[in-house]
């Protein structure tokens, strides 16, 4: 570490830092457009110009004669950085005035309004009026630039973040700068739209409203959105994300920077793959196969069977609890529970501990682990080939579930091994408790045959399936956006996920269902449960503190594995 002074504030900084990062550690913002931590440095926007000097051995300070770009200027012991001098402020005002010369005044209709760097920097560092008397230049918008991306050319400040991303991270290089001088603009090569699997990240990278997501365009003003920190459940990379919602509807997912997980980005499959949580086909009510005298004790996947306002869950869970205990009492070794790899660690622990607490002879198994193709590595080469080992910057994993390792850790603790439900063949089990949670059809032929027609079948899921159709009891569960809990990704990183919306109609989050089924008092609290799990299961002892922090914690078993999406 080296000592650096930023506006007379002394901080310890990494010698590899530039002036922007060093100033950030001092709590000082250096405005910038073109620089990004995960991209190469071009120093083209000139917004980050600062005064830089050094402390001489005799204690005197020698400042450089000219302003230098903070993104491109390294630091060393005794570096002096000034961001508040008259020279720096004048430069910032002039740069912003230039950027705004031909920028349209359409903040009222721009999707970026409310989270726009041009708005923020103009307010903080710009001038109150423009000296431009001539008409602004107008350029044609480009909706053809990608299936999920629209380019509003007038708004572009030519930071080239998007161009560098497609060249350096995705490796597909669809975007380029065409023309020169005041005529330059972003475009794609002919018949080569920006449709790579990471394309949505250019919208996040764009500091202004030039690149917008067609999926979110004109849907909701960002200041109405409420944000929750969660984990993408699309694959085992376990990307940290922001879930943005308003009035119980999720509008978008955004990557949340996490150097331990995926870095700064996420794939389009995860970004746009959340729509199923609002699908009308979801299970919305718990259901008993045999309708009892009480109308509140039954429901359907579509709508309630009566106009009763009574809560159906107490009746359904009481019946489930009674039938589970009877089934285990009659044939403990014939009771099988299937724990989905989409469950959180907390939910898997609640179900496993409850069932094993009734009789340790019941069998716990792991549900189907969806595998699609092979790991997709980036950046791609000129012919679409994967990068060389050690050059990987992002990975879309073939394992399409977020928590296999976490659920397996619970299974090893209670069952001493991991048994795959698919491997049971045509089972003689007399009772099944099956947990789903998958976004699409997941009941394999082997699992369907293994379950057969037992004396008791309880299904906890979010969509109807062949198993739920013949189940004695159906428990309408929650999606990833409706639950709190803990996920362990492919590299053993345990991350906390937080609920952002409520489940639809009478459906409930899995944690709440299992807490009440197990007869545990109080409300579901993931932090408290993590402490219990960490103390009970040695493999998961890393989560015993309860608070996993912003970036999560690594399980001791996987401490030597590479971190991030590069691994």
For the stretch 444-499, pLDDT in tens is: 999 998 998 999 999 999 999 999 999 999 999 999 999 999 999 999 999 999 99
The Cα 387–Cα 380 span in angstroms is 6
pLDDT of residue 128: 79
Lowest mean pLDDT among 297-311, 406-420, 503-517: 297-311
Q: What is the pLDDT of residues 336-346, one digit of tens each?
A: 999 999 999 99
- Please give the Cα distance from 63 to 513 (Å, whole number): 65
Structure tokens at 56: 């001489």
Q: CA 54 to CA 82: how far, in whole Å?
A: 11
β 456-461/473-476 pair status:
parallel
Pairing label, strands 249-255, 240-246? antiparallel
**pLDDT score at 30:** 97
pLDDT for the residue 279: 96
pLDDT above 70: residue 301: no
Contact indicator for 252, 213 with CB cutoff of 8 Å: yes
Has residue 532 got a pLDDT over 50? yes
Taking the CA of residue 249 as centre, how many other CA atoms within 13 Å lie in the half-sphere pointing to its CB? 8
Say if CB 424 and CB 362 are below 8 A apart: no
Q: For the sheet with 249-255, list strands across it.
A: 226-231, 240-246, 249-255
Q: Stretch 370-375: mean pLDDT, rounded?
A: 95
pLDDT digit string, tens, across residues 80-130: 999 999 999 999 999 999 999 999 988 999 999 999 999 999 999 998 788
Residues facing 457 on adjacent strands: 432
Please give the structure tokens belonging to residue 429: 């089990």
Q: Which two tokens stand for residue 253?
A: 């997912």
pLDDT of residue 58: 85
Q: Is the pLDDT score of 295 beyond 70?
A: no
pLDDT of 218 > 70? The answer is yes
Residue 265 has pLDDT above 50, yes or no: yes
- For residue 482, give the 3-state DSSP assignment: helix
CA-closest candidate to residue 547, choices 526, 522, 523 = 526
Instruction: Give pLDDT, residue 294.
Output: 42
Quickly state the pLDDT bin for 565 (edges 50, 70, 90).
low
Report the pLDDT value the prediction gives residue 310, as an integer from 0 to 100: 82
Q: What is the mean predicted confidence (pLDDT) over 34-44?
A: 96
pLDDT cut 90: percent of the chain above it = 85
Q: Residue 327 pLDDT > 60, yes or no?
A: yes
Residue 302 has pLDDT above 60, yes or no: no
Q: How confident is the model at residue 404 (pLDDT cuts 50, 70, 90)?
A: very high
Span 74-80, average pLDDT: 94
Q: Which long-range contacts (CB under 8 A, 24 or more apart) does 220-223 make?
A: 220/246, 220/251, 221/113, 221/114, 222/111, 222/113, 222/114, 222/115, 223/114
Write the DSSP string, 454-469: -SEEEEEESS--HHHH
What average pLDDT does the segment 11-32 reach? Answer: 96
Question: Chain-wide mean pLDDT for the chain?
Answer: 93
Cα separation, 163 vs 175, whole angstroms: 5
Q: Is the pLDDT of residue 508 over 60?
A: yes
CA distance to 9, 81, 109, per residue, from 61 (Å):
15, 11, 49
Q: How far apart are CA 489 and CA 487, in angstroms?
A: 6
Give the per-residue pLDDT at 88: 97
460 Cβ contact list (under 8 Å, min separation 6):
433, 434, 435, 436, 437, 474, 475, 477, 510, 513
Name the strand (E) or helix (H) holding 283.
none
503 Cβ contact partners less than 8 Å away, ≥ 6 residues apart: 476, 477, 478, 479, 482, 509
Residue 242, pLDDT score:
97
Contact of 472 with 294, CB cutoff 8 Å = no
Distances (CA, A) of 95 to 125, 177, 403: 10, 20, 48
Across the chain, which distance is largest between two alpha carbons, in Å?
Answer: 92
SS (H, E, C) 32-84: CCCCCCCCCCCCCCCCCEEEEEEECCCCCEEECCCCEECCCCECCCCEEEECC
3-state secondary structure 163-211: HHHHHHCCCCCCEEEECCHHHCEEEECCCCCCCCCCCCHHHHHCCCCCE
Q: Is the pLDDT of residue 235 over 70?
A: yes
- Report, as an integer, the average pLDDT of 200-204: 97
pLDDT the model gives residue 290: 65
Q: Does an H or E element contain 494, and which? A: strand 493-497
């Amino acid at each position: 570490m080296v000592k650096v002074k930023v506006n007379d504030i002394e901080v310890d900084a990494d010698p590899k830092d530039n002036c922007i990062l060093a100033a950030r550690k001092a709590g000082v913002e250096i405005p910038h457009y073109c620089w990004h931590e995960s991209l190469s440095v071009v120093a083209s926007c000139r917004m980050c110009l600062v005064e830089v000097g050094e402390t001489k051995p005799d204690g005197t300070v020698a400042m450089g004669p000219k302003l230098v770009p903070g993104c491109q200027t390294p630091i060393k012991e005794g570096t002096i950085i000034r961001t508040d001098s008259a020279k720096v402020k004048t430069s910032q005002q002039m740069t912003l005035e230039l950027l705004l010369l031909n920028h349209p005044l359409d903040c009222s209709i721009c999707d970026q309004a409310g989270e726009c760097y041009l708005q923020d920097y103009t307010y903080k560092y710009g001038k109150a009026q423009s000296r431009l008397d001539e008409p602004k230049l107008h350029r044609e918008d480009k909706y053809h630039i990608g299936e999920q991306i629209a380019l509003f050319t007038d708004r572009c400040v030519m930071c080239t973040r998007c161009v560098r991303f497609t060249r350096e991270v995705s490796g597909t290089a669809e975007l380029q700068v065409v023309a020169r001088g005041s005529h330059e603009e972003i475009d794609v090569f002919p018949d080569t739209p920006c449709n790579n699997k990471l394309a949505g990240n250019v919208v996040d990278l764009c500091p202004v409203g030039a690149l917008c997501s067609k999926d979110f365009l004109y849907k909701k003003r960002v200041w109405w959105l409420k944000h929750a920190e969660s984990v993408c459940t699309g694959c085992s990379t376990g990307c940290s994300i922001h879930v943005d919602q308003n009035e119980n509807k999720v509008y978008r997912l955004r990557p949340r920077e996490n150097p331990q997980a995926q870095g700064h980005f996420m794939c389009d499959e995860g970004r746009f793959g959340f729509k199923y949580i609002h699908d009308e086909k979801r299970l919305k009510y718990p259901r008993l196969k045999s309708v009892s005298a009480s109308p509140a004790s039954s429901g359907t996947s579509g709508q309630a069977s009566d106009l009763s306002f009574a809560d159906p869950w107490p009746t359904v869970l009481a019946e489930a609890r009674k039938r589970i205990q009877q089934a285990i009492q009659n044939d403990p070794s014939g009771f099988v529970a299937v724990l989905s790899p989409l469950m959180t660690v907390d939910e898997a622990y609640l179900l496993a501990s409850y069932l094993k607490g009734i009789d340790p002879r019941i069998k716990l198994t792991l549900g189907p682990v969806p595998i699609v193709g092979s790991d997709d590595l980036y950046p791609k080469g000129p012919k679409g080939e994967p990068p060389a080992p050690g050059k990987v910057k992002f990975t879309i994993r073939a394992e399409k579930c977020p928590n296999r390792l976490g659920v397996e850790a619970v299974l090893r603790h209670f069952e001493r091994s991991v048994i795959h439900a698919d491997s049971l063949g045509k089972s003689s089990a007399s009772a099944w408790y099956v947990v789903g949670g998958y976004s699409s059809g997941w009941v394999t032929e082997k699992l369907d045959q293994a379950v057969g027609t037992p004396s008791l079948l309880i299904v906890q899921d979010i969509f109807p399936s062949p198993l739920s159709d013949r189940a004695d009891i159906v428990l309408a569960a929650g999606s990833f956006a409706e639950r709190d809990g803990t996920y362990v990704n492919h590299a053993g990183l345990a991350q906390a996920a937080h609920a952002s919306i409520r489940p639809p109609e009478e459906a409930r989050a899995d944690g709440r269902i299992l807490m009440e089924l197990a007869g545990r008092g109080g409300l579901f609290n993931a932090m408290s449960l993590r402490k219990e799990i960490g103390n009970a299961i040695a493999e998961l002892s890393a989560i015993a503190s309860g608070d996993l922090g912003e970036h999560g914690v690594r399980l001791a078993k996987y401490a030597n594995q590479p971190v991030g999406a590069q691994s």
